[in-house]
Amino acid sequence: MTDLGHVLTEAFGDEDGVVDVADVMQKMAEHKGCGTSSEGGKASCGSSGGPEDMDPAIWEKVKNHPCYSEEAHHHYARMHVAVAPACNIQCNYCNRKYDCANESRPGVVSEKLTPTQAAKKVLAVASTIPQMTVLGIAGPGDPLANPAKTFETFRQIMEAAPDIKLCLSTNGLALPDYVDEIAKYNVDHVTITINMVDPEIGQHIYPWIFWEHKRITGIEAARILTERQLRGLEMLTERGILAKINSVMIPGVNDQHLVEVNRAVKSRGAFLHNIMPLISAPEHGTVFGLNGQRGPTAQELKALQDSCEGEMNMMRHCRQCRADAVGLLGEDRSAEFTTDKIMEMEVEYDAAGRKAYQQAVEGERQAKVAARQEELATLGGATSAIKLLVAVATKGHGVINEHFGHAKEFQVYELSTAGAKFVGHRRVDLYCQGGYGEEDSLDTIILAINDCHAVFVAKIGGCPKADLLKAGIDPVDQYAHEYIEKSAIIWFKDYLAKVESGAIVHVERGDAAIRQGALLSAA
Ligand code: SF4
């Protein structure tokens, strides 16, 4: 048995040496006195890249960072602490006053914290969710417009929990002033939101910036902002700090221009580019929401991401999280860690227990990759022009383990003879509400995955099954609790065989909608 095997078996294995991560998680939770139900559940796409196609030093930095590695996001969790309320620019897609507990968008937050409250919250979450490896400060304003609170929070966490990776997300206006401070606190990952490199376009996204004690508007504001963002990116690259660029795709405003943004950030050493859809509904009260600016469709977003992918690593698994999000991407456990609750919690930081748990998670990740490679080999060099999308209901761990009616999002994979590639996710309203299927929700779910040929689920009822089939989407439940990619490849081989034999005819699917409003239910 390997060293890793010994650690896991000693800590959590049965007499046959088999380690069940869900079981481990439950044991850890029980040990902490927490009643969790276990629900959780290059830099090629900075995303799908693994150790085999990455510099070992970079892999070390991203392997358990859920935002910088698509593979990691199935297994590791992150949290944001909302210690930075003020902002130094105005974006037309942002309104920090709007909050809805069921909503997930950057800038949205239920309560703001002091650095000391934030540090306590990090320890409480780290003790309850041992796969939480990353602490980010992402607002609700700009962390670098609140430097004292941001760096004091980092200082306290660095001392109390040195194994947790620190990261921050900024609009970049103040970034060049703080790169040395960022390096001092070992903040290894910085996200800069860059929506343009042309001030002519920027003036339609940013009405003003606050710069050198003055409010500046128009093209001048956008010019200063883009210069500061790109300079800050260069300075991060010079210091070996990984930079991810977030860009919001705003159809008719910057959608064509983002290809140029992609080139500009790549040439300055950005590690990963995350092009996200504009989320814009009137109830958010943003300028874009109120003036009817639409967001992109699913296929418009994917086409832009695909066209930039040859240029650099693309992130496709971003969930546009709240500034107080907690948990795996795609789940939000922030309600379990309100200030009242964490102040009452007895927190015991068990670094050794966390390490053992994370070793078990790493074993799980490796087993998943091995299963995918094994299945991929059976395609044996087959070629076909057919490329299609499938949706997957999952609670995490890279497994098909969610019921159709309980899914709050579906992960989307592109299948071809090259294998199964994660290309995005679609948030949906819950179908099952209070024990009954909700027909209105079903319509929106079908719209959200309308470009998919099949939906993989752990379980599904007769009614939604019939409606999905009517819409041309195959509900697949025979791979419950199996690995996603392995199962998808098996299904795809079968699909190709049926097309070849004439049993079915392959047809292209239509477009799909990206949900703009708040969830109907978070239950
Ligand atoms: S907003 Fe995107 S990048 Fe930030 S924590 Fe969420 S998934 Fe990661």
Answer whether 150's CB lies under 8 Å from 184's CB.
Answer: no
* Strands in 22-95 per DSSP E: 77-80, 89-90
Map tokens 């040929």 to a residue.
Answer: 453
If you measure from the C-alpha of residue 298 to the centroid of ligand 1, how many angstroms do you get, rounded to a whole number?
Answer: 19
Nearest CA to ligand 1 atom 8: 67
Q: Which residue has the higher pLDDT, 110 or 349?
A: 349
Neighbouring C-beta atoms of residue 240, cutoff 10 Å: 12
**Percentages of the chain per state (helix, strand, coil), in multiples of 5:** 40, 15, 45
- Residue-wise pLDDT for 432-479, tens only, equals 776 677 777 888 899 999 999 999 999 999 889 999 999 999 999 999
If you measure from the C-alpha of residue 213 to the centroid of ligand 1, how many angstroms do you get, rounded to a whole number?
Answer: 31
Neighbouring C-beta atoms of residue 497, cutoff 10 Å: 11
pLDDT over 70 (residue 311) = no
- Residue-wise pLDDT for 342-355, tens only, equals 888 888 888 888 89
If you measure from the C-alpha of residue 507 to the centroid of ligand 1, how many angstroms do you get, rounded to a whole number?
Answer: 34
* Best residue among 109, 167, 320 to mutate for probing ligand 1, ranked by most atoms within 8 Å of CB: 320
Query: Which is the closest atom of ligand 1 to the Cα of 138?
Result: 4
Residues of 455-477 as b/e, b for ≥16 C-beta within 10 angstroms? bbbbebeeebbebbeebebbbbb
Answer whether 387's CB lies under 8 Å from 421's CB.
Answer: no
Nearest CA to ligand 1 atom 6: 321
The one-character DSSP state at 285 is -
The closest of 234, 295, 505 to 386, measured between CA atoms, is 505
**Longest CA–CA separation in the chain, Å:** 71
Map tokens 């019921």 to a residue.
Answer: 403
Q: Give the H/E segment covering residue 388.
A: strand 388-392
CA end-to-end span of the chain: 43
User: CA-CA distance, 203 to 205, in Å (whole number)?
Assistant: 5
Answer whether 512's CB lies under 8 Å from 399's CB.
Answer: no
Mean confidence (pLDDT) of the chain: 84
If you measure from the C-alpha of residue 149 to the centroid of ligand 1, how many angstroms do you get, rounded to a whole number?
Answer: 21
* Best residue among 76, 105, 191 to mutate for probing ligand 1, ranked by most atoms within 8 Å of CB: 191
Its pTM surpasses 0.85: no
Strands of the sheet containing 208-211, edge to edge, are 89-90, 208-211, 214-217
Domain residue extents for the chain: 56-344, 381-501
Neighbouring C-beta atoms of residue 508, cutoff 10 Å: 9
Q: Which residue has the higher pLDDT, 7 or 88?
A: 88
Query: Which is the closest atom of ligand 1 to the Cα of 80?
Result: 5
Task: Find the residues whose C-beta lies inside 6 A of ligand 1.
Answer: 67, 78, 136, 318-321, 329
Q: What are the structure tokens assigned to 204, written together?
A: 């339609």
Q: Which residue has the higher pLDDT, 376 or 255?
A: 255
- Residue-wise pLDDT for 22-63, tens only, equals 443 343 333 333 222 333 223 333 445 666 667 888 888 888
Neighbouring C-beta atoms of residue 483, cutoff 10 Å: 21
Please give the average per-residue pLDDT across 219-242, as a whole number.
Answer: 97
DSSP string computed for 434-484:
TTEE-HHHHHHHHHHTTTEEEEE-SB--HHHHHHHHHTT-EEE-TTTTSBH
User: CA-CA distance, 91 to 205, in Å (whole number)?
Assistant: 6
**What is the pLDDT, as a whole number, of residue 38?**
30
Sign of CA dihedral 172, 97, 247, 77: positive
CATH fold for domain 381-501: Nucleotidyltransferase; domain 5 (3.30.420)
Answer whether 450's CB lies under 8 Å from 512's CB.
Answer: yes
Q: Give the H/E segment covering residue 434.
A: none
CATH fold for domain 56-344: TIM Barrel (3.20.20)
If you measure from the C-alpha of residue 319 to the centroid of ligand 1, how many angstroms do you get, rounded to a whole number?
Answer: 6
Nearest CA to ligand 1 atom 2: 318
User: Same CATH fold, 381-501 and 56-344?
Assistant: no
If you measure from the C-alpha of residue 339 to the centroid of ligand 1, how many angstroms do you get, rounded to a whole number?
Answer: 22
* Best residue among 62, 64, 78, 105 to mutate for probing ligand 1, ranked by most atoms within 8 Å of CB: 78
Under the banding of pLDDT at 50, 70 and 90, the label for residue 403 is: very high
* Best residue among 318, 326, 334 to mutate for probing ligand 1, ranked by most atoms within 8 Å of CB: 318
Please give the average per-residue pLDDT across 256-276, as a whole number.
Answer: 95
pLDDT over 50 (residue 9) = no
User: CA-CA distance, 318 to 315, in Å (whole number)?
Assistant: 7
Query: Which amino acid would we find at residue 497?
Result: A
